[in-house]
């Protein structure tokens, strides 16, 4: 199914439905029930985390430029401090590994679907003097909840990846999270949401890798933790992740973010003991969608590397400093959006490090 979706996206195929018509009525009823149990349907506006991180590493080398695109998960909806957002966590981690300052620009929009990526990419590439070195895209949950055709969703994402790669930026995509991990979602919606989310995540992987990007499956990364500690890892609206939830997701993405820039100590050599392999890209995508935290990197077509990079604890995150030479700009305040997505992300293995004791700021 993932290969059919990706092929339809690449060659202009029509919509490929992921759910039968008979399931729509059940889904809609379950969705309305879930919305009534999720914090009144409104989440706080995410704080702006744009600015410079790792100022202590200032030196002759130019700062790295990190761009973040996507939906409320990328924007950091659900927390109130800039240093708790995934952008700040990733920028701080990247600065610590590279020992260079990192300038973060986050153009993600809560409630965004994949068709908003065209606007976000244009914003990010509008200033030639601030072209990003690497970008992270986290998108897909709203595509599922709004029943956007999967082929259209993947087509929008692959176009965004291609534009960023053409501009010279490396790209890491955090694929669609597992919507079945949301606490207020019950059966049969939970099963259907998980199935659709995984199919879209696999198709996103195929399309992104074929455009030269890398992917990290977010999947049900927090599934066991959400079930055991929902009040700790969900934010106050019981829908978006808490600060510790975002830290867990950032810990999964950071190794790939650093590896794509040649900064991670591990190479792309496969480690059989960690169940890493070279597979046809469609099989690698399907396996990654089932096991959260898995990286997929293109090799020699049609092959891809399936990797499980070791996670390391995130450094203590500070609040951003303004970029030198830029006047502070007033940040647009997006209107609070109804709950349309989850920050649910993939599982953690014992060899990858335990997220529970990570600093929340």
Catalytic positions are 72, 237, 240
Task: Determine whether 126 is exposed, middle or buried from the number of CB atoms within 10 Å of its CB (0-12, 13-18, 19+).
Answer: exposed
What φ, ψ does residue 67 adopt, rounded to 5°?
-110, 140
170: which residues sit within 8 A by CB, 6+ positions away? 133, 134, 135, 213, 214, 260, 261
Q: Is 235 exposed, middle or buried (0-12, 13-18, 19+ CB in 10 A)?
A: buried
Nearest to 41 by CA among 345, 308, 273, 341: 341
What secondary structure does DSSP assign to 236-287, as a single string? Answer: TTSSSB-HHHHHHHHHHHHHHHHHTTT-SSS-S---GGGT-EEEEHHHHHHH
Q: Cα(207)–Cα(211) distance, rounded to whole angstroms?
A: 7
Q: Are 254 and 66 in contact (CB under 8 A)?
A: no
Please name the residue ranges forming H helices in 15-85.
21-36, 72-75
Question: d(Cα 238, Cα 256) in Å, to the nearest integer?
Answer: 29
The tokens describing 319, both together, are: 């609040």
Torsion of CA 348, 35, 87, 216, to 10 degrees: 40
β-bridge mates for residue 280, sequence order: 303
Residue 199 to residue 1: CA distance in whole angstroms? 7
Nearest to 308 by CA among 339, 281, 283, 277: 277
């Amino acid at each position: 199914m993932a290969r059919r979706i990706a092929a339809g996206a690449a060659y202009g195929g029509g919509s490929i439905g992921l759910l039968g018509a008979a399931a729509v009525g059940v889904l809609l009823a379950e969705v309305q029930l879930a919305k009534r149990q999720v914090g009144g349907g409104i989440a706080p506006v995410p704080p702006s985390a744009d600015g410079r991180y790792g100022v202590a590493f200032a030196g002759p080398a130019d700062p790295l430029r990190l761009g973040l695109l996507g939906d409320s998960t990328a924007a950091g909806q659900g927390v109130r401090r800039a240093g708790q957002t995934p952008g700040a966590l990733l920028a701080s981690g990247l600065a610590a590994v590279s020992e260079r300052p990192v300038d973060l620009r986050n153009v993600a929009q809560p409630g965004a679907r994949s068709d908003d990526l065209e606007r976000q990419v244009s914003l990010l590439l509008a200033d030639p003097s601030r072209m990003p070195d690497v970008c992270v895209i986290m998108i897909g949950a709203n595509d599922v909840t709004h029943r956007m055709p999967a082929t259209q969703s993947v087509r929008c994402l692959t176009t965004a990846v291609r534009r960023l790669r053409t501009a010279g930026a490396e790209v890491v995509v955090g694929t669609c999270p597992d919507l079945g991990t949301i606490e207020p979602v019950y059966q049969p919606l939970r099963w259907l949401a998980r199935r659709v989310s995984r199919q879209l995540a696999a198709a996103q992987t195929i399309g992104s890798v074929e455009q030269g990007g890398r992917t990290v499956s977010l999947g049900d990364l927090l599934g066991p933790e959400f079930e055991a500690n929902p009040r700790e890892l969900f934010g106050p609206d019981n829908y978006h992740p808490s600060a510790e939830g975002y830290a867990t997701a950032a810990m999964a993405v950071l190794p790939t973010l650093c590896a794509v820039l040649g900064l991670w100590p591990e190479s792309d050599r496969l480690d059989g003991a960690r169940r890493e392999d070279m597979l046809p890209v469609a099989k690698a995508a399907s396996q990654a969608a089932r096991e959260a935290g898995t990286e997929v990197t293109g090799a020699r077509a049609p092959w891809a590397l399936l990797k499980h990079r070791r996670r390391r604890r995130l450094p203590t995150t500070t609040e951003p400093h303004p970029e030198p030479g830029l006047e502070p700009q007033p940040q647009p305040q997006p209107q609070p959006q109804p709950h349309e997505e989850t920050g649910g992300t993939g599982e953690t293995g014992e060899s990858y490090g335990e997220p529970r004791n990570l600093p929340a700021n």
